[in-house]
């Protein structure tokens, strides 16, 4: 995604009941006073049962250079998290809609708040998905989003996050602390 696209992208703000309460430019919403807003996280699983993990680009505003789940994003106004997931799959990972065999929401009410070392805050209601991709699905990541990626076993991912939490995004650690997500990943 180019800087012009990021500047025009809108995120959905949420009130204290987690209901939509407005929109804001994505380029301006993440600060040290980030308002609660809607997002999503996704763990992509290949036909061999491996999980795609990505290292966030060093140019990212929040949590640059940390390893995290396959992709994240923000649904725009009128867009469902599932629709945003497919859109971000294309923008961030170079996947097409036909690459996704199934998409399942595992943690529909996940919410987290975290600040990075620069003080920039992420505060999101962030449904967590597991998406299976077709055999042969290729990754062509956007370098302004992803610095590197690896396909790993779910067990290796869980153990890696537990052993070296500082190398990973705070949300992946919180998400993997929930049994339904661990069970879904280990079940492939």
The full set of domains in the chain, from first to last, is 36-186 (3.90.79.10)
User: Is residue 159 annotated as involved in ligand binding?
Assistant: no
Q: Which long-range contacts (CB under 8 A, 24 or more apart) does 102-108 make?
A: 102/131, 102/132, 103/42, 103/129, 103/130, 103/131, 103/132, 104/129, 104/130, 104/131, 104/184, 105/81, 105/129, 106/130, 106/178, 106/180, 106/181, 106/184, 107/175, 107/178, 107/180, 107/181
pLDDT at 6 over 60: no
User: Is residue 122 annotated as involved in ligand binding?
Assistant: yes
User: Is residue 16 annotated as involved in ligand binding?
Assistant: no
The average confidence (pLDDT) of the chain is 94
- The Cα–Cα gap between 6 and 165 comes to 29
Q: Are 36 and 18 in contact (CB under 8 A)?
A: yes
Q: pLDDT digits over 24-83, tens only?
A: 999 899 999 999 999 999 999 999 999 999 999 999 999 999 999 999 999 999 999 999
Strand partners, 103: 131
Query: DSSP code of 166?
Result: G
Question: Which sequence positions are flagged as catalytic?
Answer: 72, 124
Q: For residue 3, what pLDDT is reported?
A: 40
Q: Are 96 and 85 in contact (CB under 8 A)?
A: no
Q: For residue 8, what pLDDT is reported?
A: 81
Q: For residue 138, what pLDDT is reported?
A: 87
Query: What's the number of CA atoms in the CB half-sphere (13 Å) around residue 82?
Result: 9
pLDDT at 7 over 80: no
User: Is residue 79 annotated as involved in ligand binding?
Assistant: no
């Amino acid at each position: 995604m180019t800087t012009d696209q990021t500047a025009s992208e809108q995120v959905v703000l949420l009130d204290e009941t987690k209901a939509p309460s407005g929109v804001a430019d994505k380029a301006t919403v993440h600060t040290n006073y980030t308002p609660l807003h809607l997002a999503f996280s996704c763990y992509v699983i290949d036909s061999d049962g491996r999980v795609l993990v990505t290292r966030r680009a060093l140019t990212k505003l929040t949590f640059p250079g940390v390893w995290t789940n396959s992709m994240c994003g923000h649904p725009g106004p009128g867009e469902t998290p599932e629709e945003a997931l497919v859109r971000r799959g294309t923008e961030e990972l170079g996947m097409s809609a036909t690459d996704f065999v199934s998409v399942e929401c595992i943690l529909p009410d996940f919410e987290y708040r975290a600040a990075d070392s620069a003080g920039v805050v992420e505060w999101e209601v962030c449904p967590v998905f597991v998406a299976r991709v077709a055999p042969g699905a290729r990754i062509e990541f956007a370098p302004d989003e992803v610095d590197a990626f690896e396909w790993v076993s779910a067990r290796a991912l869980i153990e890696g996050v537990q052993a070296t939490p500082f190398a990973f995004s705070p949300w992946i650690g919180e998400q993997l602390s929930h049994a339904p997500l661990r069970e879904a990943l280990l079940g492939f």
